[in-house]
Structure 1
Amino acid sequence: MNTEGSGTLQNPENSPEHQAVIAFLADPATHDGQQVQRVDTHISHIFLTDTEAFKLKRPIRTNFLDFSTLNRREAACRREIEVNQTVAAQIYRDVLPIVRRERRLQLGGQGDPVDWVVRMRRFDRAGEFDRLAERGELGVQLAEALADTVAKMHLGAPVAPEFGGAARVKATIEQISEAIETSPAAADLKDPLTDWRSRAQSELDKRTAQLNARRRHGYVRRCHGDLHLGNICLIDGRPTPFDALEFNEEMASTDVIYDIAFIVMDMLERGLRDQANAFLCRYLSATRDYSGLGLLPLFISMRAAVRALVAASRKEPDPHEPGAGERLAFAIRALRDQAKPRLIAIGGLSGSGKSTIARRAAPQIGRGIGAVVLRSDVARKHMFGVSPEDRLPEDAYGPGTTELVYTRLLRDAGRVLRQGFPAVVDATFLSPFEREQVRLAARRAGVPFCPIWMDCGPKTLRARISARTGDASDADVGVLEKQLALRAEAGDWTRVPADGSVEDTAALALAAIRSGSD
């Protein structure tokens, strides 16, 4: 009987029909004798062969999804293919019916469908980002490559103004709170939950106008919706988000900062602060969405609270995962331990280590995720519409263009500071005018200013530039010689010896940053 639109589940999980489909997909004979591994999630059964994966939607209905009928499951399968095509077309292949012919089930072909599956290319699960993180193989460069992928995905995502805004954030906070209150671990979480809810609501009150303005201005988009490290993998050496949320448009259509907050939270919770900072800075340099930064602590906290809810809902704790109390404590810290705005300028000749030290220092500046790095070389590349590692022609480095680069850097730094974050501006600052402009930017923002000059000898500078590969800077030894001829003076900027090791130089720079601001 067709129950489309009724209150009855069609072929519920314990029905003979559904169990027969599971047995059919788990049978090696269905897959030309290949062995089959079954993986169960809360909404799907996944059957893995040597080369392919088949995802079967579980016939369930919850407060956020409805797979209760055959038609709904088919529609969800087709929507999953659609929403994952943008960045994961290499994985998602097609939708196949499971049909009954002559009283036997068959995968694909003609016949009466009894269910539907999403067919995917099987990939090496060792390349999933959560597993890379567990093995200590998720480095800063990979985090930046991921940021490039996500930024491109968000910039091309459809705007969804019918969703998002402060009302949706408020509803999500309430839903998380109510679900934890009714979970098996509710009694142990009463006090921290009360604390979290109060802090989250207070932060929301401060951000209500901002959330609604961003909704009006196109920052609520049809995003991935479930962008944690376990839903990102390496395909052909490239970070590839997969398993985008297909079953609830409201949950998937959100502020882009809420989408990236899952990645940032996941990295921070795992102790990958350098990677989280590098991901965020690279993403922001591509999107220039610095005005959304102020929402990040609230959104990180909400993502962590969702993780706390998942842990609290388990009948038995997972010994391999943090508990609900630990995750709720993380959610509270995300709101409580926020950095204070200040402007740090790191200048010096090409090859003096400005960018390396900025990257090393930024995660250690203040609390939370640290400082946001704005690099002149990266800003220039984005102005010309190329990736940071692509080379630009010599005429892209004329005085007029350089002035535009510095104007852009300081404007973006001002946005970072107004959102309550520290900013690190990484540029040569060879002229007194450039150095004075960055000082004035701090004064206009009403924040402390800390100017650092990387002091390095010509021999070391030449050696470093000669050894460069794959860097955003296009400066060669010829450019350096012109800089040396200028005999730029640092004035009253704090000089940091930069001829030594990266570790020693970073320690000296951090000490200067922590002690020197006017």
Structure 2
Amino acid sequence: MDHASILRLMHCPALAAAGEQAPVLRETHISWVILAGELAYKIKKPLDFGFLDFSTLERRRFFCEQELALNRRFAPELYQAVVPITREAHGPSLDGRGTVIDYAVRMRRFDERQLLSNIAARGQLDRALVRALGQELARQQAAASACYPDAEAAQAGSPASLRAAIVQNFVQARGYALQPAEQQLLAEVEDWTLARLRQLTPLLVQRAASGHVLDGHGDAHLGNIALVDGRVRLFDCVEFNPGMRIMDGIAEIAFLCMDLQARGHRRECHWLLGDYLEYRGDYAGLALLDLYRSYYAMVRAKVALLREPAGNPDLAAGDAYREFSRYLQLARRYAGHPPAFLAITHGVSGSGKSTVADRLAGAAGALRIRSDVERKRLFGLAPEQRSAPGDEARLYGSAMSR
């Protein structure tokens, strides 16, 4: 389908009768989304970018089915069905009897004010919501399928695959007329990233073998997370390229932390990371955090440049270049070595140790680790799970405290 066909589809009887207000069209670089009443219909554009191929009807049908199945892992109440778009006498229509000309993913529509990106922009990303987000990410990863030793999946999540993606970012950025300051920053970030990747390759391999490479979401930023019926829900995962979705679990949280920091929510970033780790327990993955955060900041920097023609003589004066520079500077900050410190709170039960430590973590960019939670983890309990009567002595006994 093309844009003109989409506009005609918006006037078909099924959509015209969907609500009191006329259907609304939203557009991304790879899809059209029609909002009609309480439903949304997502239609894939007939494009082939290499890493994404929606060029044929059969491929669009396949990837609609993939989108439905994969996203039901995260938001089953949102993703309803794949419906055909048919050619009728009055024009294109949804789920008619004519020849199938395309497909759409039918979704339940939610209040866009409840997107976490919009909530954050209003300054309403509070402590309870951040905690719920960290818990949901950890829960999803606990339920996700480990991809090792599947050969194709292992390749997608391998150090070689990550290196190829890293190098591509820098090659594509250098295809533009960068200013000297950004050229220098780019070289510094590239040198650090590739050196860090070499250092961490044994850890990446070990983590893949031990089940940390997961079939995840692939695009978990605040604009793809919403409050639905009061619950945190991820949506719009990467269905078109498994290599962009299969990754070490720590990469998923690194991307979201980078997104929070890029939006100016440093405190919430550290809250989220601490909450995620508290529920997930993957503290060993922290060694990879800044590598992935720098990588994803460079992805954003590159994408900003790709919105402009490579030969644009006014590139440096435009908004796209300013966005590129902002993300490049963020990537460079991750390559630094901030001073480390350890603060320990102690006191009797109920004295406020956890509350003070939580505030300190958010303000100082630190992680809070609670001994009560780690005791429970060793005992096989979840952070919020209460111990059974009689277990307190074992939970807080000398054997558990060593």
TM-score by length of 1: 0.70
Q: Residue deviations 1:381-402, cap 9 Å, x none?
A: 555666544544432312x221
| 1:199 alignment counterpart | 192
Write the letter of the residue equivalent to 2:46: P
1:311 aligned to 2:318? no
1:105 and 2:92 matched? yes
1:232 is aligned to 2:231: no
Q: Distance in 1 between matches of 2:398 and 2:62?
A: 49
- Pairwise CA RMSD: 2.4
Q: Does the CA-based 8 Å contact 1:183-1:313 persist in structure 2? A: no
* Range moving further from structure 2, 354-363 or 31-40: 31-40
1:10 paired residue number: none
Counterpart CA distance in 2 for 1:139 and 1:322 is: 29
The match for 2:28 among 13, 32, 41 is 41
Deviation at 1:406, TM superposition (A): 5.0
Letter in structure 2 aligned against 1:211: L
Structure 2: how far apart are the matches of 1:54 and 1:241?
17
Structure 1, 50-59 or 264-273: larger mean CA deviation = 264-273
For 1:405 and 1:134, how far apart are their aligned partners in 2?
48
How far did residue 380 of structure 1 move?
4.5
Alignment match, 1:467: none
> Per the alignment, do residues 371 and 404 of structure 1 end up closer, same or farther by CA in structure 2, a change over 3 Å counting?
farther
Output aligned runs, 1:29-428, within 5 Å. Answer: 29-33=13-17, 34=19, 35-102=22-89, 104-161=91-148, 162=154, 163-183=156-176, 189-315=182-308, 323-340=323-340, 342-365=341-364, 370-382=365-377, 387-398=382-393, 400-403=394-397, 407=401
Q: Which runs of 5+ in 1 are unaligned?
A: 1-16, 408-436, 438-518
Cα displacement (A) at 1:130 = 0.9
Instruction: Supply the distance in 2 between the matched residues of 1:218 and 1:44 (Cα, whole angstroms).
Output: 33
Question: Contact 1:185–1:312 (CA<8 Å) still a contact in 2?
Answer: no
Residue 329 of structure 1 aligns with an amino acid whose one-letter code is Q
Q: Which has the larger radius of gyration?
A: 1
Q: 1:139 to 1:321 in 2, by over 3 A?
A: farther
- Indicate if the aligned counterparts of 1:25 and 1:47 stay in contact, CA closer than 8 A: no
Asked if 2 retains the 8 angstrom alpha-carbon contact of 1:149 and 1:239, the reply is yes
For each residue in 1:38-79, what CA deviation from the matched residue of structure 2 results, as whole angstroms up to 9, or x when unmatched?
Answer: 111111111111211111101100131100100000101000
Distance 1:267 1:405 in 2: 40
- SS of residue matched to 2:218: coil
Separation in 1, partners of 2:398, 2:56: 58
The count of residues paired between Structure 1 and Structure 2 equals 386
Change (3 A) 1:288 1:188: same
| Distance (Å, rounded) in 2 between the aligned partners of 1:168 and 1:44 | 27
For residue 323 of structure 2, what is the amino acid of its counterpart? G
The answer to whether the Cα contact below 8 Å between 2:137 and 2:276 also exists between their aligned partners in 1 is yes
CA–CA distance in 2 between the matches of 1:168 and 1:143? 31
* Matches of 1:99 and 1:152, distance apart in 2: 39
Alignment-mate amino acid for residue 82 of structure 2: V
Q: Letter of the 2:367 partner, please give it.
A: V
For residue 326 of structure 1, report the CA deviation from its aligned partner: 1.2
Aligned letter for 1:298?
A: L
5+ residue gaps, structure 2: 149-153, 309-314
Q: What residue is the counterpart of 2:5 in the other structure? A: 21
Residue 156 of structure 1 and its aligned partner are, at CA, apart by 1.1
1:111 Cα deviation (Å)? Answer: 3.1
Change (3 A) 1:390 1:116: same
Tell me: higher relative CO, structure 1 or 2? Use CA pairs within 8 A at least 6 residues apart. 2
Q: Flag the 1:152–1:258 CA change in 2: closer, same or farther, 3 A.
A: same
Classify 1:194/1:134 alpha carbon distance in 2 versus 1 (closer, same or farther; 3 Å).
same
Query: TM-score if structure 2 supplies the norm length?
Result: 0.89
What secondary structure is seen at the aligned counterpart in 2 of 1:77?
helix
> What percent identity do the matched residue pairs reach?
35
